[in-house]
Amino acid sequence: MNHLKSLQRISFWGRFTGIVTIVFGSFAALGGLFALIIGAIPGIIQIILGVYLFKTGTEAKYAIEDNETSDESLHRLLNNYSKYLLIQGIFTIIVLAFVALMIILSLVLGNYFFSEFHFT
């Protein structure tokens, strides 16, 4: 019975957060288009993540409705969730690398400008 409660939670929250992620990703993609075409990429990634979350919730719903906790049903659910985690992990690594690069760049340029304009 504990598995049923977990599947119900995954079903609701997976579909809900999937839809919200898709909607906000759409806004981010449209907003990014106004800056540059490449600015839409984070929004597109967010939409893809939302689709995988929604599919995870939908598979959990099907498993509950069909009373199907077979290996195939759980495989589809876990496959969608693992793709979500993979993309989210790659995106997180890229963002962390970009932040580290910006910190290093700001320290180097800040040091250069302070020494060049004799602020010290």
Arithmetic mean of pLDDT over the chain: 89
Q: Is residue 114 part of a domain?
A: no
Single-letter amino acid code for the residue at 40: A
Cα separation, 44 vs 2, whole angstroms: 36
pTM, entire model: 0.80
| Tally of domains in the chain | 1
Q: Is residue 49 part of a domain?
A: yes
Place 114 in a pLDDT band, splitting at 50, 70 and 90.
Answer: confident
Which range of residues forms the domain containing residue 40?
Answer: 2-86
Q: Spell out the residues 6+ positions from residue 74 whose beta carbon is closer than 8 angstroms to its own.
A: 63
Q: Is residue 118 part of a domain?
A: no
pLDDT tens digit sequence for 5-30: 988 999 999 999 999 999 999 999 99
Q: Is residue 77 part of a domain?
A: yes
Q: Is residue 99 part of a domain?
A: no
Q: Is residue 24 part of a domain?
A: yes
Which three-class secondary structure string do you get for 44-62?
HHHHHHHHHHHHHHHHHHH
Q: Is residue 50 part of a domain?
A: yes
